[in-house]
């Protein structure tokens, strides 16, 4: 693997982990071997299930949020496959994808749900920082 490709992949991984971004994992028996690095990340389905419970999402909200998360996962997958971008460009694109997704999701949520989602993400970032300080497990272990 080219060094610049490695840095791009690591930048994408770090950005996804430290922003609390869910990344879809390949589904079914024919998993893409390139998706193996994503093992620590929640799938769209897992994220939606967790949010449905913790944010008390309505069925209508779940129906609106799922395609937003799927689109984000596809964009991040496509970005990971792009060898032409520098680490800096990759990080910028990850940030843009995350921001666009957050804006769309927050438009579907109530103000109380937005506060709760922000709190959940902040807590997750704190847990990741703590694990990183301890040199322990990868940032996502569920």
Domain boundaries, the chain: 3-20+42-129
Q: What is the C-alpha to C-alpha distance for residues 40 and 59, in angstroms, rounded to an integer?
A: 27
For residues 19 and 124, the answer to whether their CB atoms sit within 8 Å is no
pLDDT band at 23 (very low <50, low <70, confident <90, very high): very low
Q: Which runs of consecutive H residues, i.e. helices, occur in the chain?
A: 3-18, 44-54, 59-81, 87-108, 111-134
Average pLDDT over residues 106-134: 91
pLDDT at 53: 95
pLDDT band at 129 (very low <50, low <70, confident <90, very high): confident
Return the closest-CA partner of residue 69 out of 52, 47, 90, 49.
47
pLDDT band at 7 (very low <50, low <70, confident <90, very high): low
Which has the higher per-residue pLDDT, 133 or 79? 79
pTM higher than 0.85? no
DSSP state letter for 57: -
| 59-81 helix and 87-108 helix, angle to the nearest 10 degrees | 170
């Amino acid at each position: 693997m080219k060094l610049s490709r490695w840095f791009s992949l690591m930048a994408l991984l770090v950005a996804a982990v430290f922003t609390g971004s869910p990344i879809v994992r390949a589904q079914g028996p024919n998993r893409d071997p390139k998706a193996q690095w994503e093992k620590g990340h929640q799938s769209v389905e897992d994220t939606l299930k967790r949010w449905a419970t913790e944010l008390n999402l309505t069925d209508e909200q779940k129906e609106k949020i799922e395609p937003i998360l799927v689109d984000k996962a596809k964009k991040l997958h496509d970005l990971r496959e792009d060898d032409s971008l520098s680490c800096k460009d990759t990080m910028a694109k990850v940030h843009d994808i995350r921001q666009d997704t957050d804006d769309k999701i927050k438009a579907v949520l109530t103000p109380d749900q937005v506060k709760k989602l922000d709190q959940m993400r902040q807590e997750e970032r704190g847990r990741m920082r703590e694990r990183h300080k301890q040199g322990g497990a990868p940032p996502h272990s569920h």
